[in-house]
Amino acid sequence: MFSNKKALLFDLDGTLVDSVGDLHMAVNEMLKSFDSPSVSVTHIKSWVGNGSFRLVERALANAKLTAIDLDVAHETFLSAYRNTHHANTTLCSGVKKALTYFLEKHFLMAIITNKPLQFVPELLEQQGIDQYFDMVLGGDSLAEKKPSPAPLLFVAQELNVDIDACLMIGDSETDILAANACGMQSVVLSEGYHQGIDVNQLGADAIIDSIDELIGLVNDPSDR
Indicate if 11 and 111 belong to the same structural domain: yes
pLDDT reading at 49 higher than 90: no
Indicate if 80 and 168 belong to the same structural domain: no
pLDDT at 220: 72
pLDDT at 91: 97
pLDDT at 222: 61
Side chain identity at residue 197, one-letter code:
I
Split at pLDDT 50, 70, 90, the class of 40 is very high
Split at pLDDT 50, 70, 90, the class of 223 is low
Indicate if 136 and 166 belong to the same structural domain: yes
Range with the poorest average pLDDT among 50-54, 182-186, 192-196 = 192-196
Split at pLDDT 50, 70, 90, the class of 179 is very high
Indicate if 151 and 186 belong to the same structural domain: yes
Question: Of 33, 60, 84, which marks where a domain is finished?
Answer: 84
Q: What percent of the chain has pLDDT over 90?
A: 86
pLDDT at 221: 63
Instruction: Return the DSSP state at 59.
Output: H
Indicate if 27 and 66 belong to the same structural domain: yes
The model's pTM is 0.93
Indicate if 47 and 145 belong to the same structural domain: no
Question: Of 84, 102, 120, which marks where a domain is finished?
Answer: 84
Indicate if 190 and 106 belong to the same structural domain: yes
More confident residue, 223 or 64: 64
Domain residues for the domain of 67 are: 20-84
Mean pLDDT of 33-42: 94
140 lies in some domain: yes
Contacts of range 156-160, beta carbons closer than 8 Å, 24 or more positions apart: 156/7, 156/184, 159/7, 159/108, 159/110, 159/134, 159/135
pLDDT reading at 195 higher than 80: no
Indicate if 78 and 105 belong to the same structural domain: no
Could you tell me which of 112, 103, 110, 134 has the C-alpha nearest to residue 220? 103
Average per-residue pLDDT for the chain: 94
2 lies in some domain: no
Question: Of 67, 84, 101, which marks where a domain is finished?
Answer: 84
pLDDT at 161: 97
* Residue of 11, 13, 22, 171 marked catalytic: 11
How many domains does the chain divide into?
2
223 counts as catalytic:
no
Split at pLDDT 50, 70, 90, the class of 198 is confident
Mean pLDDT of 70-95: 96
Indicate if 74 and 185 belong to the same structural domain: no
